[in-house]
Structure 1
Amino acid sequence: MTPTAPTTPFDANERTAWAGRAEDYAATFGRLCAHTVPELLDAAEVFGGTRLLDVGTGPGTVAAAACDLGADVHAVDAEPSMVDLARRAAPSARVELAVLPELPFPDAGFDVVVANFVLNHVGRPLLALAELRRVLRPGGRLALTIWSGTPGAGQALIPSALQAAGAVRPPHLGPLDPADDFPRTPDGLAALLTTAGLQSATCRTVTWDHHATADTWWSGPASGVATIGLTLLAQTPAIQSEARRHYDRLATAFHTPNGTLALPHTALLATATR
Protein backbone atom coordinates (compact mmCIF):
# COMPACT_ATOMS: atom_id res chain seq x y z
CA MET A 1 0.00 0.00 0.00
CA THR A 2 1.30 3.48 -0.90
CA PRO A 3 1.56 5.63 2.26
CA THR A 4 -0.54 8.78 2.43
CA ALA A 5 1.49 11.86 1.54
CA PRO A 6 1.65 14.25 4.51
CA THR A 7 0.73 17.28 2.40
CA THR A 8 -1.43 18.04 -0.62
CA PRO A 9 -1.83 20.80 -3.22
CA PHE A 10 -4.24 22.39 -0.75
CA ASP A 11 -1.32 22.86 1.67
CA ALA A 12 0.88 24.37 -1.03
CA ASN A 13 -1.86 26.83 -1.93
CA GLU A 14 -2.22 27.79 1.73
CA ARG A 15 1.48 28.61 1.97
CA THR A 16 1.22 30.85 -1.09
CA ALA A 17 -2.02 32.44 0.04
CA TRP A 18 -0.69 33.58 3.41
CA ALA A 19 2.80 34.64 2.35
CA GLY A 20 3.53 38.11 3.69
CA ARG A 21 -0.06 38.78 4.77
CA ALA A 22 0.33 38.78 8.55
CA GLU A 23 -0.24 42.51 9.08
CA ASP A 24 -3.35 42.58 6.89
CA TYR A 25 -4.73 39.50 8.62
CA ALA A 26 -4.06 40.85 12.10
CA ALA A 27 -5.90 44.09 11.31
CA THR A 28 -8.98 42.35 9.93
CA PHE A 29 -9.83 38.66 10.27
CA GLY A 30 -7.33 38.27 13.11
CA ARG A 31 -9.56 40.45 15.29
CA LEU A 32 -12.48 38.20 14.46
CA CYS A 33 -10.60 35.04 15.40
CA ALA A 34 -9.43 36.56 18.68
CA HIS A 35 -12.97 36.31 20.05
CA THR A 36 -12.68 32.60 20.86
CA VAL A 37 -9.31 32.84 22.65
CA PRO A 38 -10.60 33.11 26.24
CA GLU A 39 -13.03 30.21 25.75
CA LEU A 40 -10.35 28.15 24.01
CA LEU A 41 -7.86 28.54 26.87
CA ASP A 42 -10.57 27.94 29.45
CA ALA A 43 -11.60 24.73 27.69
CA ALA A 44 -7.95 23.68 27.57
CA GLU A 45 -7.70 24.19 31.35
CA VAL A 46 -4.58 26.35 31.16
CA PHE A 47 -2.98 27.35 34.47
CA GLY A 48 0.31 28.76 35.66
CA GLY A 49 3.13 26.42 34.69
CA THR A 50 1.15 24.56 32.01
CA ARG A 51 3.46 23.44 29.20
CA LEU A 52 1.44 24.70 26.24
CA LEU A 53 1.92 24.50 22.48
CA ASP A 54 -0.01 26.98 20.34
CA VAL A 55 -0.13 25.58 16.80
CA GLY A 56 -0.83 28.04 14.00
CA THR A 57 -0.34 30.98 16.33
CA GLY A 58 -0.86 33.59 13.60
CA PRO A 59 -0.22 37.03 15.11
CA GLY A 60 0.32 35.44 18.53
CA THR A 61 -3.02 36.27 20.14
CA VAL A 62 -3.45 32.87 21.81
CA ALA A 63 0.22 32.65 22.79
CA ALA A 64 0.13 36.08 24.44
CA ALA A 65 -3.05 35.25 26.35
CA ALA A 66 -1.59 31.93 27.53
CA CYS A 67 1.55 33.72 28.72
CA ASP A 68 -0.65 36.09 30.70
CA LEU A 69 -2.11 33.03 32.45
CA GLY A 70 1.37 31.95 33.46
CA ALA A 71 1.75 29.10 30.99
CA ASP A 72 5.13 27.97 29.64
CA VAL A 73 4.37 28.67 25.98
CA HIS A 74 5.80 27.38 22.74
CA ALA A 75 4.14 28.57 19.53
CA VAL A 76 4.54 27.74 15.85
CA ASP A 77 3.25 29.00 12.55
CA ALA A 78 3.87 28.05 8.94
CA GLU A 79 4.17 31.66 7.73
CA PRO A 80 7.32 33.68 8.55
CA SER A 81 5.50 37.01 8.71
CA MET A 82 3.13 35.52 11.32
CA VAL A 83 6.10 34.28 13.35
CA ASP A 84 7.52 37.79 13.38
CA LEU A 85 4.23 39.25 14.63
CA ALA A 86 3.80 36.54 17.25
CA ARG A 87 7.27 37.12 18.66
CA ARG A 88 6.37 40.75 19.22
CA ALA A 89 2.94 39.96 20.68
CA ALA A 90 4.22 37.25 23.04
CA PRO A 91 7.88 38.03 23.83
CA SER A 92 8.04 35.48 26.64
CA ALA A 93 6.88 32.64 24.37
CA ARG A 94 9.24 30.57 22.24
CA VAL A 95 7.93 31.07 18.72
CA GLU A 96 9.28 29.28 15.67
CA LEU A 97 8.46 28.31 12.11
CA ALA A 98 6.85 24.89 11.66
CA VAL A 99 4.35 23.33 9.28
CA LEU A 100 1.76 20.68 10.09
CA PRO A 101 1.71 17.72 10.04
CA GLU A 102 5.38 17.66 11.11
CA LEU A 103 6.22 19.52 14.33
CA PRO A 104 9.79 19.87 15.66
CA PHE A 105 9.02 18.57 19.14
CA PRO A 106 9.50 15.24 20.90
CA ASP A 107 6.68 12.90 21.79
CA ALA A 108 4.57 13.78 24.83
CA GLY A 109 6.26 17.13 25.42
CA PHE A 110 3.22 19.28 26.28
CA ASP A 111 0.42 19.33 28.83
CA VAL A 112 -1.86 21.24 26.46
CA VAL A 113 -2.03 21.81 22.71
CA VAL A 114 -4.30 24.52 21.29
CA ALA A 115 -5.12 25.39 17.67
CA ASN A 116 -7.37 28.38 17.01
CA PHE A 117 -8.87 28.16 13.49
CA VAL A 118 -5.99 26.08 12.19
CA LEU A 119 -7.50 22.75 11.17
CA ASN A 120 -9.36 24.50 8.33
CA HIS A 121 -5.97 25.41 6.81
CA VAL A 122 -4.46 21.92 6.44
CA GLY A 123 -4.90 19.50 3.60
CA ARG A 124 -4.96 16.37 5.75
CA PRO A 125 -6.84 17.17 8.97
CA LEU A 126 -6.59 13.65 10.33
CA LEU A 127 -2.81 13.56 9.98
CA ALA A 128 -2.58 17.01 11.58
CA LEU A 129 -4.61 15.82 14.57
CA ALA A 130 -2.46 12.71 14.90
CA GLU A 131 0.58 14.98 15.12
CA LEU A 132 -1.06 17.15 17.78
CA ARG A 133 -1.82 13.98 19.72
CA ARG A 134 1.79 12.83 19.39
CA VAL A 135 3.22 15.88 21.15
CA LEU A 136 0.67 15.70 24.00
CA ARG A 137 1.62 13.87 27.17
CA PRO A 138 -0.66 11.01 28.27
CA GLY A 139 -3.65 12.67 29.89
CA GLY A 140 -2.80 15.97 28.15
CA ARG A 141 -5.54 18.12 26.72
CA LEU A 142 -6.22 19.37 23.19
CA ALA A 143 -8.53 22.31 22.45
CA LEU A 144 -9.24 23.69 18.99
CA THR A 145 -11.65 25.79 16.99
CA ILE A 146 -12.80 25.64 13.38
CA TRP A 147 -15.50 27.42 11.44
CA SER A 148 -18.88 25.73 11.44
CA GLY A 149 -20.33 24.23 8.30
CA THR A 150 -23.47 26.23 9.13
CA PRO A 151 -22.11 29.77 9.00
CA GLY A 152 -23.58 32.78 10.70
CA ALA A 153 -25.19 35.45 8.54
CA GLY A 154 -22.17 37.72 8.95
CA GLN A 155 -19.88 35.05 7.54
CA ALA A 156 -21.95 34.96 4.37
CA LEU A 157 -21.81 38.71 3.71
CA ILE A 158 -18.66 38.92 1.59
CA PRO A 159 -19.17 35.58 -0.22
CA SER A 160 -22.72 36.69 -1.08
CA ALA A 161 -21.42 39.96 -2.50
CA LEU A 162 -18.91 38.12 -4.69
CA GLN A 163 -21.55 35.68 -5.86
CA ALA A 164 -23.94 38.51 -6.74
CA ALA A 165 -21.16 40.15 -8.79
CA GLY A 166 -20.56 36.96 -10.76
CA ALA A 167 -17.15 36.24 -9.25
CA VAL A 168 -15.71 32.79 -9.94
CA ARG A 169 -13.40 31.05 -7.50
CA PRO A 170 -10.08 30.17 -9.15
CA PRO A 171 -9.72 26.39 -9.63
CA HIS A 172 -6.45 26.22 -7.67
CA LEU A 173 -8.26 27.52 -4.58
CA GLY A 174 -10.51 24.50 -4.45
CA PRO A 175 -11.64 22.78 -1.25
CA LEU A 176 -10.15 19.72 0.40
CA ASP A 177 -10.16 16.41 -1.37
CA PRO A 178 -13.42 14.75 -0.24
CA ALA A 179 -11.38 11.82 1.10
CA ASP A 180 -9.73 14.19 3.59
CA ASP A 181 -12.75 16.28 4.53
CA PHE A 182 -15.16 15.78 7.41
CA PRO A 183 -18.55 17.17 8.48
CA ARG A 184 -18.08 20.63 9.99
CA THR A 185 -20.57 19.87 12.75
CA PRO A 186 -20.12 19.19 16.48
CA ASP A 187 -20.56 15.46 15.91
CA GLY A 188 -18.36 15.47 12.81
CA LEU A 189 -15.44 17.23 14.49
CA ALA A 190 -15.71 15.11 17.64
CA ALA A 191 -15.69 11.96 15.51
CA LEU A 192 -12.55 13.14 13.68
CA LEU A 193 -10.76 13.67 17.01
CA THR A 194 -11.73 10.17 18.06
CA THR A 195 -10.51 8.70 14.77
CA ALA A 196 -7.17 10.45 15.37
CA GLY A 197 -6.78 8.43 18.58
CA LEU A 198 -7.87 11.10 21.06
CA GLN A 199 -10.21 10.34 23.94
CA SER A 200 -13.25 11.98 25.55
CA ALA A 201 -13.82 14.21 22.53
CA THR A 202 -16.53 16.84 22.92
CA CYS A 203 -17.55 19.72 20.70
CA ARG A 204 -19.92 22.65 21.03
CA THR A 205 -21.04 25.61 18.97
CA VAL A 206 -19.84 29.13 19.73
CA THR A 207 -21.67 32.15 18.31
CA TRP A 208 -20.95 35.86 18.52
CA ASP A 209 -21.35 39.15 16.69
CA HIS A 210 -18.13 40.57 15.32
CA HIS A 211 -18.11 44.39 15.16
CA ALA A 212 -16.19 46.26 12.49
CA THR A 213 -16.75 49.20 10.18
CA ALA A 214 -17.83 48.35 6.65
CA ASP A 215 -14.54 49.61 5.22
CA THR A 216 -12.43 47.65 7.72
CA TRP A 217 -14.31 44.43 7.09
CA TRP A 218 -13.95 44.82 3.33
CA SER A 219 -10.25 45.65 3.64
CA GLY A 220 -9.40 42.04 4.58
CA PRO A 221 -10.40 40.46 1.28
CA ALA A 222 -9.41 43.61 -0.61
CA SER A 223 -5.87 42.97 0.69
CA GLY A 224 -5.96 39.37 -0.49
CA VAL A 225 -6.40 37.82 2.95
CA ALA A 226 -7.62 34.20 2.98
CA THR A 227 -9.30 32.32 0.16
CA ILE A 228 -12.06 34.91 -0.11
CA GLY A 229 -9.46 37.61 -0.62
CA LEU A 230 -7.54 35.71 -3.28
CA THR A 231 -10.83 35.00 -5.02
CA LEU A 232 -11.67 38.72 -5.04
CA LEU A 233 -8.25 39.73 -6.37
CA ALA A 234 -8.48 37.13 -9.14
CA GLN A 235 -11.51 38.93 -10.65
CA THR A 236 -11.50 41.66 -13.26
CA PRO A 237 -11.58 45.26 -11.98
CA ALA A 238 -15.20 45.52 -13.13
CA ILE A 239 -16.27 42.49 -11.11
CA GLN A 240 -14.30 43.70 -8.07
CA SER A 241 -16.11 47.04 -8.27
CA GLU A 242 -19.45 45.31 -8.65
CA ALA A 243 -18.68 43.07 -5.66
CA ARG A 244 -18.04 46.14 -3.52
CA ARG A 245 -21.33 47.64 -4.66
CA HIS A 246 -23.22 44.50 -3.67
CA TYR A 247 -21.28 44.38 -0.39
CA ASP A 248 -22.38 47.90 0.52
CA ARG A 249 -25.96 47.01 -0.35
CA LEU A 250 -26.00 43.77 1.64
CA ALA A 251 -24.13 45.28 4.59
CA THR A 252 -27.05 47.57 5.43
CA ALA A 253 -28.74 44.60 7.11
CA PHE A 254 -25.95 44.57 9.71
CA HIS A 255 -25.64 48.28 10.46
CA THR A 256 -25.71 49.35 14.12
CA PRO A 257 -26.52 52.80 15.56
CA ASN A 258 -22.83 53.44 16.30
CA GLY A 259 -21.85 53.06 12.66
CA THR A 260 -20.32 49.58 12.78
CA LEU A 261 -21.53 46.28 11.38
CA ALA A 262 -22.65 43.54 13.79
CA LEU A 263 -21.72 40.36 11.93
CA PRO A 264 -22.99 37.03 13.38
CA HIS A 265 -20.40 34.25 13.25
CA THR A 266 -20.52 30.59 14.21
CA ALA A 267 -17.61 28.35 15.14
CA LEU A 268 -17.00 24.95 16.71
CA LEU A 269 -14.93 24.51 19.88
CA ALA A 270 -13.70 20.99 20.54
CA THR A 271 -11.67 19.36 23.31
CA ALA A 272 -10.15 15.92 23.79
CA THR A 273 -7.42 14.20 25.77
CA ARG A 274 -4.60 11.82 25.01
Structure 2
Amino acid sequence: MSKAEEVPVPGAAATPFDAGERRAWAGRAAAYAPGFGRLCAYTVPRLLDAAGVTEGARVLDVGTGTGTAAAAACARGARVSAVDAEPDMVRTAAAAAPTAAVHLAALPQLPFPDAVFDAVVGNFVLNHVGRPGAALAELRRVTRPGGRIALTVWAAPPAAGQALLGRAVRAAGVPRPPDAPALAPEDDFPRTADGFAALLRTAGPLAAVECAVVSWEHRTTLAEWWHGPAAGVATIGRVVTSRGPAATERIRRHFVALAAEFTASDGQLVLPHAALLASGRVAP
Protein backbone atom coordinates (compact mmCIF):
# COMPACT_ATOMS: atom_id res chain seq x y z
CA MET A 1 0.00 0.00 0.00
CA SER A 2 1.23 3.49 -0.78
CA LYS A 3 2.19 5.70 2.12
CA ALA A 4 1.72 9.46 1.81
CA GLU A 5 3.25 11.28 4.77
CA GLU A 6 2.57 14.99 5.13
CA VAL A 7 5.27 15.83 7.66
CA PRO A 8 6.67 19.38 7.55
CA VAL A 9 10.40 19.49 6.86
CA PRO A 10 12.43 22.30 8.47
CA GLY A 11 13.89 24.70 5.92
CA ALA A 12 11.49 23.65 3.14
CA ALA A 13 11.26 27.28 1.98
CA ALA A 14 14.83 28.32 2.72
CA THR A 15 15.09 31.07 0.10
CA PRO A 16 12.69 33.59 -1.49
CA PHE A 17 12.88 31.46 -4.64
CA ASP A 18 11.75 28.36 -2.70
CA ALA A 19 8.89 30.31 -1.10
CA GLY A 20 7.80 31.52 -4.52
CA GLU A 21 7.85 27.97 -5.86
CA ARG A 22 5.60 26.79 -3.04
CA ARG A 23 3.07 29.50 -3.92
CA ALA A 24 3.29 28.74 -7.63
CA TRP A 25 2.53 25.03 -7.24
CA ALA A 26 0.07 24.96 -4.34
CA GLY A 27 -2.98 22.88 -5.24
CA ARG A 28 -2.16 22.65 -8.93
CA ALA A 29 -1.48 18.96 -9.54
CA ALA A 30 -4.61 18.46 -11.65
CA ALA A 31 -3.89 21.52 -13.79
CA TYR A 32 -0.25 20.46 -14.24
CA ALA A 33 -0.83 16.84 -15.27
CA PRO A 34 -2.33 16.99 -18.79
CA GLY A 35 -0.07 19.73 -20.19
CA PHE A 36 3.27 20.26 -18.52
CA GLY A 37 3.08 16.89 -16.75
CA ARG A 38 2.74 14.99 -20.01
CA LEU A 39 5.57 17.05 -21.49
CA CYS A 40 7.94 16.24 -18.63
CA ALA A 41 7.14 12.52 -18.83
CA TYR A 42 9.12 12.25 -22.07
CA THR A 43 12.51 12.13 -20.34
CA VAL A 44 11.54 9.57 -17.68
CA PRO A 45 12.70 6.34 -19.42
CA ARG A 46 16.12 7.80 -20.21
CA LEU A 47 16.38 9.25 -16.70
CA LEU A 48 15.79 5.84 -15.12
CA ASP A 49 18.27 4.22 -17.52
CA ALA A 50 20.93 6.80 -16.61
CA ALA A 51 20.43 6.06 -12.92
CA GLY A 52 20.62 2.31 -13.46
CA VAL A 53 17.12 1.64 -12.13
CA THR A 54 16.49 -2.10 -12.29
CA GLU A 55 14.49 -4.73 -10.44
CA GLY A 56 15.14 -4.72 -6.70
CA ALA A 57 17.01 -1.39 -6.66
CA ARG A 58 16.27 1.03 -3.83
CA VAL A 59 15.23 4.19 -5.68
CA LEU A 60 14.37 7.72 -4.58
CA ASP A 61 12.38 10.00 -6.90
CA VAL A 62 12.86 13.59 -5.74
CA GLY A 63 10.32 16.19 -6.80
CA THR A 64 8.04 13.40 -7.98
CA GLY A 65 5.20 15.73 -8.99
CA THR A 66 2.32 13.59 -10.19
CA GLY A 67 4.40 10.44 -9.72
CA THR A 68 5.33 9.61 -13.31
CA ALA A 69 8.95 8.63 -12.62
CA ALA A 70 8.04 6.85 -9.38
CA ALA A 71 5.41 4.76 -11.18
CA ALA A 72 7.83 3.94 -14.00
CA ALA A 73 10.48 2.85 -11.49
CA CYS A 74 7.91 0.66 -9.71
CA ALA A 75 7.05 -0.92 -13.07
CA ARG A 76 10.72 -1.93 -13.37
CA GLY A 77 10.45 -3.78 -10.06
CA ALA A 78 12.37 -1.21 -8.01
CA ARG A 79 11.68 -0.46 -4.36
CA VAL A 80 10.65 3.18 -4.62
CA SER A 81 10.43 6.12 -2.27
CA ALA A 82 9.33 9.49 -3.59
CA VAL A 83 9.11 13.02 -2.22
CA ASP A 84 7.54 16.30 -3.24
CA ALA A 85 7.22 19.67 -1.51
CA GLU A 86 3.56 20.16 -2.47
CA PRO A 87 0.88 18.18 -0.59
CA ASP A 88 -1.39 18.06 -3.65
CA MET A 89 1.40 16.44 -5.66
CA VAL A 90 2.07 13.97 -2.83
CA ARG A 91 -1.53 12.80 -2.88
CA THR A 92 -1.55 12.53 -6.67
CA ALA A 93 1.77 10.66 -6.78
CA ALA A 94 0.62 8.23 -4.08
CA ALA A 95 -2.36 7.31 -6.27
CA ALA A 96 -0.20 7.01 -9.41
CA ALA A 97 2.43 4.82 -7.73
CA PRO A 98 0.53 2.81 -5.10
CA THR A 99 3.49 0.56 -4.25
CA ALA A 100 5.82 3.52 -3.59
CA ALA A 101 6.33 5.24 -0.25
CA VAL A 102 5.49 8.88 -0.99
CA HIS A 103 6.50 11.60 1.46
CA LEU A 104 6.09 15.34 1.82
CA ALA A 105 9.63 16.75 1.85
CA ALA A 106 11.69 19.47 0.22
CA LEU A 107 15.29 19.83 -0.80
CA PRO A 108 17.82 20.44 0.59
CA GLN A 109 16.58 18.46 3.60
CA LEU A 110 15.33 14.91 3.06
CA PRO A 111 13.93 12.62 5.79
CA PHE A 112 16.22 9.67 5.03
CA PRO A 113 19.41 8.24 6.56
CA ASP A 114 22.78 8.45 4.84
CA ALA A 115 23.61 6.10 1.94
CA VAL A 116 20.23 4.35 1.84
CA PHE A 117 19.43 4.43 -1.92
CA ASP A 118 21.01 2.64 -4.87
CA ALA A 119 19.72 5.27 -7.29
CA VAL A 120 18.29 8.78 -6.99
CA VAL A 121 16.41 10.50 -9.81
CA GLY A 122 14.99 14.00 -10.16
CA ASN A 123 13.02 14.88 -13.26
CA PHE A 124 13.37 18.69 -13.56
CA VAL A 125 13.46 19.11 -9.78
CA LEU A 126 16.56 21.34 -9.86
CA ASN A 127 14.53 23.90 -11.81
CA HIS A 128 12.45 24.36 -8.66
CA VAL A 129 14.96 24.66 -5.80
CA GLY A 130 16.62 27.81 -4.58
CA ARG A 131 19.98 26.20 -3.80
CA PRO A 132 20.85 23.62 -6.48
CA GLY A 133 24.32 22.99 -5.06
CA ALA A 134 22.96 22.23 -1.59
CA ALA A 135 20.26 20.05 -3.15
CA LEU A 136 22.89 18.00 -4.98
CA ALA A 137 24.91 17.55 -1.82
CA GLU A 138 21.79 16.21 -0.10
CA LEU A 139 21.08 13.78 -2.94
CA ARG A 140 24.64 12.51 -2.67
CA ARG A 141 24.21 12.07 1.10
CA VAL A 142 21.28 9.67 0.73
CA THR A 143 22.90 7.66 -2.12
CA ARG A 144 25.12 4.70 -1.26
CA PRO A 145 28.75 4.58 -2.42
CA GLY A 146 28.72 3.33 -6.00
CA GLY A 147 25.10 4.39 -6.46
CA ARG A 148 23.99 6.69 -9.25
CA ILE A 149 22.20 10.04 -9.41
CA ALA A 150 20.42 11.20 -12.58
CA LEU A 151 18.75 14.57 -13.08
CA THR A 152 17.13 16.65 -15.79
CA VAL A 153 16.82 20.42 -16.20
CA TRP A 154 15.53 22.56 -19.02
CA ALA A 155 18.20 23.80 -21.40
CA ALA A 156 18.87 27.51 -21.87
CA PRO A 157 18.35 29.25 -24.13
CA PRO A 158 15.06 27.36 -24.49
CA ALA A 159 14.04 25.49 -27.60
CA ALA A 160 11.50 27.20 -29.84
CA GLY A 161 8.46 25.33 -28.55
CA GLN A 162 9.42 25.90 -24.94
CA ALA A 163 9.75 29.64 -25.59
CA LEU A 164 6.28 30.04 -27.08
CA LEU A 165 4.43 31.06 -23.93
CA GLY A 166 7.18 33.48 -22.90
CA ARG A 167 6.99 35.12 -26.32
CA ALA A 168 3.26 35.62 -25.88
CA VAL A 169 3.81 37.23 -22.48
CA ARG A 170 6.40 39.63 -23.89
CA ALA A 171 4.20 40.48 -26.88
CA ALA A 172 1.40 41.35 -24.46
CA GLY A 173 3.73 43.58 -22.44
CA VAL A 174 3.13 41.77 -19.16
CA PRO A 175 6.14 41.87 -16.77
CA ARG A 176 7.24 39.19 -14.34
CA PRO A 177 5.49 39.84 -11.00
CA PRO A 178 7.79 41.08 -8.23
CA ASP A 179 6.74 38.25 -5.89
CA ALA A 180 8.16 35.66 -8.34
CA PRO A 181 11.87 36.00 -7.50
CA ALA A 182 14.55 34.60 -9.73
CA LEU A 183 17.31 32.30 -8.52
CA ALA A 184 20.07 34.19 -6.71
CA PRO A 185 23.06 34.68 -9.05
CA GLU A 186 25.41 32.88 -6.69
CA ASP A 187 23.15 29.81 -6.75
CA ASP A 188 22.56 29.68 -10.50
CA PHE A 189 24.53 27.71 -13.07
CA PRO A 190 24.74 27.64 -16.90
CA ARG A 191 21.90 25.58 -18.32
CA THR A 192 24.20 23.96 -20.88
CA ALA A 193 25.61 20.44 -21.03
CA ASP A 194 29.00 21.68 -19.78
CA GLY A 195 27.46 23.87 -17.09
CA PHE A 196 25.18 21.17 -15.73
CA ALA A 197 27.96 18.57 -15.75
CA ALA A 198 30.23 20.98 -13.87
CA LEU A 199 27.55 21.42 -11.19
CA LEU A 200 27.37 17.66 -10.63
CA ARG A 201 31.15 17.34 -10.48
CA THR A 202 31.62 20.15 -7.97
CA ALA A 203 28.44 20.39 -5.88
CA GLY A 204 27.88 16.63 -5.58
CA PRO A 205 30.66 15.93 -5.96
CA LEU A 206 30.05 12.99 -8.28
CA ALA A 207 32.34 10.82 -10.39
CA ALA A 208 31.92 9.59 -13.96
CA VAL A 209 29.61 12.49 -14.78
CA GLU A 210 27.90 12.49 -18.17
CA CYS A 211 25.49 15.03 -19.63
CA ALA A 212 23.48 14.86 -22.84
CA VAL A 213 20.96 17.08 -24.59
CA VAL A 214 17.57 15.40 -25.03
CA SER A 215 15.49 16.95 -27.81
CA TRP A 216 11.95 16.07 -28.83
CA GLU A 217 8.78 17.46 -30.36
CA HIS A 218 5.86 17.65 -27.98
CA ARG A 219 2.46 17.25 -29.61
CA THR A 220 -0.42 18.99 -27.89
CA THR A 221 -3.40 21.25 -28.60
CA LEU A 222 -3.97 24.96 -28.16
CA ALA A 223 -6.47 24.31 -25.39
CA GLU A 224 -4.26 21.86 -23.51
CA TRP A 225 -1.15 24.03 -23.74
CA TRP A 226 -3.00 27.12 -22.57
CA HIS A 227 -4.87 25.40 -19.72
CA GLY A 228 -1.91 25.11 -17.33
CA PRO A 229 -0.70 28.72 -17.54
CA ALA A 230 -4.28 30.02 -17.39
CA ALA A 231 -4.70 28.02 -14.17
CA GLY A 232 -1.58 29.63 -12.71
CA VAL A 233 0.71 26.61 -13.03
CA ALA A 234 4.45 27.24 -12.57
CA THR A 235 6.21 30.58 -12.96
CA ILE A 236 4.74 31.15 -16.40
CA GLY A 237 1.28 30.67 -14.92
CA ARG A 238 1.96 33.21 -12.20
CA VAL A 239 2.96 35.71 -14.87
CA VAL A 240 -0.05 34.94 -17.07
CA THR A 241 -2.51 35.44 -14.19
CA SER A 242 -0.71 38.22 -12.32
CA ARG A 243 -2.39 41.25 -13.91
CA GLY A 244 -6.01 40.18 -13.98
CA PRO A 245 -8.37 38.74 -16.60
CA ALA A 246 -7.84 41.46 -19.22
CA ALA A 247 -4.08 40.93 -19.28
CA THR A 248 -4.53 37.16 -19.30
CA GLU A 249 -6.81 37.44 -22.32
CA ARG A 250 -4.29 39.70 -24.07
CA ILE A 251 -1.59 37.08 -23.55
CA ARG A 252 -3.93 34.36 -24.81
CA ARG A 253 -4.59 36.23 -28.05
CA HIS A 254 -0.85 36.62 -28.68
CA PHE A 255 -0.35 32.95 -27.80
CA VAL A 256 -2.92 31.87 -30.38
CA ALA A 257 -1.34 34.06 -33.06
CA LEU A 258 2.21 32.92 -32.35
CA ALA A 259 1.16 29.26 -32.13
CA ALA A 260 0.29 29.28 -35.82
CA GLU A 261 3.94 28.67 -36.72
CA PHE A 262 3.86 25.43 -34.71
CA THR A 263 0.49 24.15 -35.94
CA ALA A 264 0.53 20.95 -38.00
CA SER A 265 -1.92 20.02 -40.74
CA ASP A 266 -4.01 18.05 -38.23
CA GLY A 267 -4.42 21.15 -36.06
CA GLN A 268 -2.12 19.97 -33.28
CA LEU A 269 0.79 21.99 -31.96
CA VAL A 270 4.23 20.48 -32.53
CA LEU A 271 6.54 22.15 -30.02
CA PRO A 272 10.32 21.52 -30.07
CA HIS A 273 11.76 21.12 -26.57
CA ALA A 274 15.24 20.43 -25.23
CA ALA A 275 16.37 19.25 -21.81
CA LEU A 276 19.68 18.34 -20.24
CA LEU A 277 20.10 14.87 -18.70
CA ALA A 278 23.09 14.51 -16.40
CA SER A 279 24.17 11.56 -14.27
CA GLY A 280 27.05 10.57 -12.06
CA ARG A 281 28.22 8.01 -9.54
CA VAL A 282 28.86 8.42 -5.83
CA ALA A 283 32.48 7.45 -5.28
CA PRO A 284 33.22 4.72 -2.72
- TM bucket (normalised to shorter chain) is over 0.9
Residue 69 (structure 2) pairs with residue 62 (structure 1)? yes
3-state DSSP class of the match of 2:66?
coil
For 1:190-209, what aligned pairs fall within 5 Å after superposition? 190-196=197-203, 197-209=205-217
Are residue 163 (structure 1) and residue 159 (structure 2) matched?
Answer: no
Equivalence for 1:138 = 145
**Aligned residue identity for 1:90:** A
Q: Equivalent residue of 1:167, what SS?
A: coil
Deviations 1:64-117 (A, max 9, x none): 000000000000100000000001100001111111100000000000000000
Which stretch shows the higher mean deviation, 233-242 or 70-79?
Answer: 233-242
Q: State the Cα distance separating 1:174 from its structure 2 match.
A: 2.4
Given the alignment of the two structures, is residue 100 of structure 1 paired with residue 102 of structure 2, yes or no?
Answer: no
| Post-superposition offset of 1:46 | 1.1
1:143-171, CA deviations, whole angstroms, 9 ceiling, x for partnerless residues? 01000012110011111011001001111
Amino acid at match of 1:233: T
Aligned pair partner of 1:223 in 205, 226, 231: 231
Matches within 5 A, 1:30-179: 30-179=37-186
Q: Is the 8 A contact 2:81 2:100 kept in 1?
A: yes
The runs of at least 4 consecutive aligned structure 1 residues that moved more than 4 Å come to none
Partner of 2:248: 240
The answer to whether the 8 A contact 1:75-1:95 is kept is yes
Q: Distance in 2 between matches of 1:208 and 1:240?
A: 28
Counterpart amino acid of residue 105 in structure 2: A
1:21 and 2:28 aligned: yes
SS state at 1:130 partner = helix
**Which deviations, in whole Å up to 9, do the C-alpha atoms of 1:30-49 show, x marking residues without a partner?**
00000000111111111100
CA contact (8 A) 1:6 1:124 kept: no
State yes or no: 1:266 paired with 2:274: yes
2:73 counterpart letter in structure 1 = A
Q: Which amino acid aligns with 2:165?
A: I
1:6–1:101 contact (8 Å) kept in structure 2: no
Alpha-carbon offset, residue 240 of structure 1: 1.6
Q: For the residues of structure 2 that align with 1:29 and 1:50, how far apart are their CA atoms?
A: 28
Looking at structure 2, the residues matched to 133 and 6 of structure 1 have their Cα atoms a distance apart, in angstroms, of 20
Give the drift of 1:6.
8.3
Q: Is the 8 A contact 1:112 1:136 kept in 2?
A: yes
| SS class of match (2:191) | coil
Matched residue type, 2:65 = G
> How many Å separate the matches in 2 of 1:86 and 1:198?
28
Q: Distance in 2 between matches of 1:153 and 1:267?
A: 12
Amino acid at match of 2:262: F
SS at match of 2:102: strand
Distance 1:28 1:107, change over 3 A: same
Q: 3-state DSSP class of the match of 1:81?
A: helix
Give the Å deviation of 1:189: 0.6
Q: Displacement of 1:142 after TM fit?
A: 0.3
Q: How many residues align?
A: 271
Give the Cα–Cα distance (whole angstroms) in 2 for the partners of residues 165 and 6 of structure 1: 32
Q: Which residue of 2 aligns with 1:256?
A: 264
Query: Identity rate of aligned residues, in percent?
Result: 62
TM-score in terms of structure 1 length: 0.97
Mapped to 2, the partners of 1:234 and 1:228 lie a distance apart of: 10
